[in-house]
Amino acid sequence: MPITSCIPLKGRLLLLLLWPVALFSQSFREDSVFIAANYQKMEYMIPMRDGVRLFTSVYTPKDTRERYPFLMERTPYSCFPYGAAKMRFEGLGPNRWLMREKYIFVYQDVRGRYKSEGDFEEMTPAREEDRSTKQTDESSDTFDTIEWLLKNIGNNNGRVGLYGISYPGFYATASLPHAHPAIRAVSPQAPVTDEFIGDDANHNGAFFLMDNFDFTNYFQGTRIDSGTNYREIFNAVFPDAYSFYKKMEPLGNTNGSAYFNHKSKIWDEYLSHDTYDEYWKQRNIRTHLKNIRPAVLVVGGWFDAEDMFGSLHTYQAIDKQSPGTDNRLVMGPWTHGAWSEGDWDHFGPYHFGQNLNTYFQQEMETNFFNFHLKDKGRFDAAKATVFETGTNQWKQYATWPPSQASPRLFYLGENGTLSTENRGHSGSYDEYVSDPANPVPYTSRVMAGRNNEYLVEDQRFAAQRQDVLSFRTDTLTSDLLVTGPLKAEIFLSTTGTDADLVIKVIDVLPENTPGPQMGGYERMVRAEVFRCRFRDSFEKPTALRPGEITRISFDLNDIAHTFLKGHRIMVQVQSSWFPLVDLNPQTFVDIPTCRPEDFKKATICIYHDGSHPSSISLPVIQ
């Protein structure tokens, strides 16, 4: 029977998403009027195969002269506002054009969240066993929901589309294995995909401290107000994240009486599983993306600090394991979920010269769902549609990564040089002292929350430190187009038994660049961290041997960027990125349970000679 309604909150780190002022502009007021005039809302508790009921809100067009497809988002972020008489105020569906196209819009609180029954599981593992049983996963919950909707909601045309950003993006992806036959189109957007290798929780085994500390405090709080809200586990107010987290280290102190105090199941799981064990492997949805039938549109952002990895690798997993699937990729210069906003014509130091969201929402997202769910219009986008920063243009490619890109090695060298020739003499290296008591900050700004612009921030603040090495090319004499995945291969030694390695790829602007402080701006293009104990295996970490030269090789997320004539390419190397990433004690100990005395200074040498040619590989298109 009907009960209430839902508005999904988009994006996984809710405290970091800033809704645009335009939310309350004339266009949104017009949307509210349109919704009230054209849709009616009903809410239901839909039973799953094991008897658990999931809270679901359904908006149906008042015009019953035609049949409509379903467009659904499943979310752990609340069906708000609750109450049958309370309508959404920010529009229905992923964009306002689809709202006006008229669909049956469905929102659902996933199992164990807000007003849905059952127990919540972090990234519920997918099942491959006999699916006729009452065992459940997110695919089966989606399947059972669709079965109920098809039978109980009138005027439907028998077709279903799903979408979602971040955690809801994971639920969209999770609908694909063993998909209900009615599902025709799915758009996972910034989907959480593999939380140990590259998404929210860890990158290459290095724990992303500040994001997860803030998020889990809210997300795992106590359900209150009859399930319509959550109370945080603890209250932590501070003006300077760097100082706050520094005082709180070691990592185990996060479970002290002032903080989580073992009241968060997810936080305990994160700290208990500090290798790529079965906990993480079971939650890697990529291994299940085989024999996918629905059409897929994967969406991601080049400046997405949460789930850029998820977008790129969800697309790649489907492409490799399900080659017959109609699978497309869109990557733009967006932060986490920014493509859902009304306007996006600049970000940080970038000015794009156009509103990129109008193009994406109308030409890509709306056409994708209209074509597959309504047989309306055409959707003939290229396999990969990506925005190229530097030149500010959309590019279309028949494959991703582009087949025309070839790797070009740029070697780190003496005197801070970066060159396509390995010029180092025997034994050539640079060194720095990495001190856990004085870690390299990830941003120059003093702030409580994460600086959402850190991925494009000027890195001159870091270059001035003694524990950061910088390597630069000569001034480029022609444009250099770099499109695809990057790989770092670094030869290092340390006086410790563990180390983190942070690699940044930077576009250095000319000194005569106009604009306040833009001359010589060191604009970060891509960066990644690698915890060196995992150099041979993410499952079985091993200590570094003090003084022994060791090869560390790892991938950085893809880019599509032109380094313009007159610019220079820079690579920075460092061993902390705080408090974005937790502190590595630089001794081979269990980090979640280590003690203050385990943290040691270490002298780290980065080698660049003929036998140890530290380099970064850039995919160059001629």
For the stretch 107-134, pLDDT in tens is 999 999 999 999 999 999 999 876 678 8
Mean pLDDT, the chain, integer: 93
468-522 pLDDT tens trace: 999 999 999 999 999 999 999 999 999 999 999 999 999 999 999 998 899 999 9
- Higher-pLDDT residue of 168 and 129 is 168
Q: Using the predicted structure, report yes or no on whether residue 426 has a pLDDT greater than 70.
A: yes
Cα separations (Å) of 73 from 15, 342, 568, 590? 20, 19, 44, 39
Instruction: Quote the CA–CA distance of 231 and 472 in Å, as a whole number.
Output: 49
The predicted structure's pLDDT at residue 25: 54
Contact 589, 457 (CB under 8 A): no
The mean-pLDDT minimum among 27-31, 36-40, 448-452 falls in 27-31
Contact 321, 327 (CB under 8 A): no
The predicted structure's pLDDT at residue 24: 42
330-378 pLDDT tens trace: 999 999 999 999 999 999 999 999 999 999 999 999 999 999 999 999 9
Confidence category of residue 29, pLDDT binned at 50, 70, 90: confident
- The residue among 471, 465, 466, 462 whose CA lies nearest residue 505 is 471
The predicted structure's pLDDT at residue 516: 87
Q: Using the predicted structure, report yes or no on whether residue 191 has a pLDDT greater than 90.
A: yes
Contact 225, 80 (CB under 8 A): no
Helix H or strand E encompassing 184 = strand 183-189
Alpha helices by DSSP H, listed for 353-406, are 356-359, 367-374
Confidence category of residue 13, pLDDT binned at 50, 70, 90: very low
Average pLDDT over residues 416-424: 91
The sign of the CA dihedral 205, 206, 211, 213 is positive
Number of helices (H), then strands (E), belonging to the chain: the values are: 12, 27
The predicted structure's pLDDT at residue 190: 98
* Alpha-carbon 429 to chain mean position: 35
Residue with tokens 């600090």: 305
Beta strands in 402-466, from DSSP E residues, in sequence order:
406-412, 418-419, 429-434
The predicted structure's pLDDT at residue 355: 96
Contact 395, 385 (CB under 8 A): yes
Cα separations (Å) of 598 from 39, 250, 437, 487, 589? 61, 9, 12, 31, 8
The predicted structure's pLDDT at residue 149: 98
Contact 322, 474 (CB under 8 A): no
Confidence category of residue 91, pLDDT binned at 50, 70, 90: confident
Instruction: Quote the CA–CA distance of 594 and 253 in Å, as a whole number.
Output: 10
- Higher-pLDDT residue of 18 and 75 is 75
Helix H or strand E encompassing 506 = strand 500-508
Q: Which residues contact 224 (CB under 8 A, 6 or more apart)?
A: 230, 231
Average pLDDT over residues 10-29: 44
396-414 pLDDT tens trace: 999 999 999 999 999 999 9
Q: Output phi, psi for 326, to 5 deg.
A: -75, 90
What is the pTM assigned to this prediction?
0.95
* Alpha-carbon 403 to chain mean position: 25
The predicted structure's pLDDT at residue 564: 98
Confidence category of residue 381, pLDDT binned at 50, 70, 90: very high
222-234 pLDDT tens trace: 999 999 999 999 9
What is the percent of the chain with per-residue pLDDT over 90, rounded to a whole number?
A: 89
C-alpha triplet 172, 177, 183: angle, nearest 5°: 60
Average pLDDT over residues 540-545: 98
Cis amide linkage into residue 250, ω under 30° from 0 = yes
3-state secondary structure 49-117: CCCCEEEEEEEEECCCCCCEEEEEEEECCCCCCCCCCCCCCCCCCCCHHHHHHCCEEEEEECCCCCCCC
Instruction: Quote the CA–CA distance of 575 and 91 in Å, as a whole number.
Output: 45
Q: Output phi, psi for 280, to 5 deg.
A: -75, -40
The mean-pLDDT minimum among 80-94, 129-143, 291-305 falls in 80-94
Q: Which residues contact 127 (CB under 8 A, 6 or more apart)?
A: 135, 136, 137, 139, 140
Do you know the residue count of the chain?
Answer: 622
* Alpha-carbon 309 to chain mean position: 6
- The residue among 567, 576, 404, 372 whose CA lies nearest residue 478 is 567
The predicted structure's pLDDT at residue 21: 37
597, two tokens: 């005395």
Q: How many alpha carbons lie under 13 Å from residue 530 in its C-beta half-sphere?
A: 23
Helix H or strand E encompassing 620 = strand 615-621
- The residue among 219, 193, 206 whose CA lies nearest residue 15 is 219
Cα separations (Å) of 175 from 146, 183, 544? 11, 9, 42
What's the first-to-final CA gap in the chain, in angstroms?
62
What is the percent of the chain with per-residue pLDDT over 70, rounded to a whole number?
A: 95
Helix H or strand E encompassing 615 = strand 615-621
- The residue among 438, 442, 468 whose CA lies nearest residue 455 is 442
The predicted structure's pLDDT at residue 26: 59
